[in-house]
Copies of this chain bind each other. A is one copy, B any other.
Amino acid sequence: MAQRKYVSIKEVAARAGVSFQTAGKVLNGGDVRVSAETAQRILTAAKDLGYRPNTIARSLVQRTTATIGLVASDATDIAIAQASVAAEQEARRHGHSVLVGHLAAGGADGADIVRTLIERRVDGIIAAAPEIEEDTRVAELLRQYVPAVSLQAVPGGGVPLVGSNHRETGRLATDHLIGLGHTAIGTVTGPFRRRVTRSRLHGYEDALRNANLETPEDLVAEGDWTPKGGASATRLLLERSPGITAIFVHSDMMAMGVLSALFQAGRCVPQDVAVVSCDDIPFAEYLTPPLTTVRVPLAETGRQAVHLLLRSIAGEQVPERPPLLPVELIVRASAAPPRKAAPPRKDNE
């Protein structure tokens, strides 16, 4: 806590008996045309003094901060956390630091966060927060000032979008359920306003349609990505359609709530109700029962976002719609064929 004042390049130079420009060359600039001996003198002087380069000053003259901004969800949602941690690590591997801003509940402060990032002159911004999907002010800022990459739709476009095929995800999950022999398949969705939700819902409908199954509205219940929301959506579903034998859930986090609500309603998973979800968060396999889910490459998405952004920062032209990352069904224990002759139990309701 001795709050030692930072020593500048000049003090190092003085101690080494050279001009500060020379010191600068050996301490930072790559093209060192300095005699080995003076270089050494400068280096030891720097070490003695505990010199730390001042990136702020460097940024000022070079007009680049080697920093990227990350706007993320509240990150109670593990899926987002996965992506953002991976993004940060990847950025650092490429010599960049990351300035984060987590949206408050509701996400109304998205524009404030982005503005701050811009004022700090980040070289680029990654948006990883479904909440700002409809925020036109954020979109505006993202387009106008720095290169940006988004993990969700940006109103008005103009910002490259990375992610996976959500419709395919919904289809894959539902197909699996259909393949097992289910016909009464409900779904617990994300918020309807979210594009991910609608895409996954489309995938779900695609699958049902292909199998000539109906999709009555009773089979769809809206959640909010939280376990709690998943649980209440499930209760609603059971109430409206007690005959349901399978549920496609739009996220693993909600699936926890679904499992919990099912358990409390006395329905066994997978015997009474089969559950398939999306994401494959790290502990999906440790739920009871282990979750059958469609793996979404979250970490990889974060990394790809960084790569695209770095290319964009470097002045390269990057596609606004790079190829979607592949998803994959991970079969575990939460989905099984429906009970043959046994009609759904009516008790516990």
* Chain A interface residues (CB < 8 Å from chain B): 1-4, 6, 50, 52-57, 59-60, 65, 67, 74-76, 78, 81-82, 85, 88-89, 92, 97-102, 104, 113, 115-121, 143-147, 158-159, 226-228, 231, 253, 256-257, 259-260, 263, 282-283, 285-290, 312
Contact = CB atoms under 8 A, between A and B. Distances in A.
Contacts of A256: 283, 286-287
A92 B82 CA distance: 22
B1 A158 contact: yes
A222 to B, nearest CB: 18
Given A253-B283, A259-B288, A118 B1 contact: no
B121 A102 contact: no
B100 A88 contact: yes
A104 B147 CA distance: 27
A144 B102 contact: no
A94 to B, nearest CB: 13
A140 B244 CA distance: 61
A119 B53 contact: yes
A336 to B, nearest CB: 16
Contact of A59 (B56, B74, B101): B56
A80 B113 CA distance: 22
Contacts of A50: 144
Contacts of A119: 52-55
B76 A88 contact: no
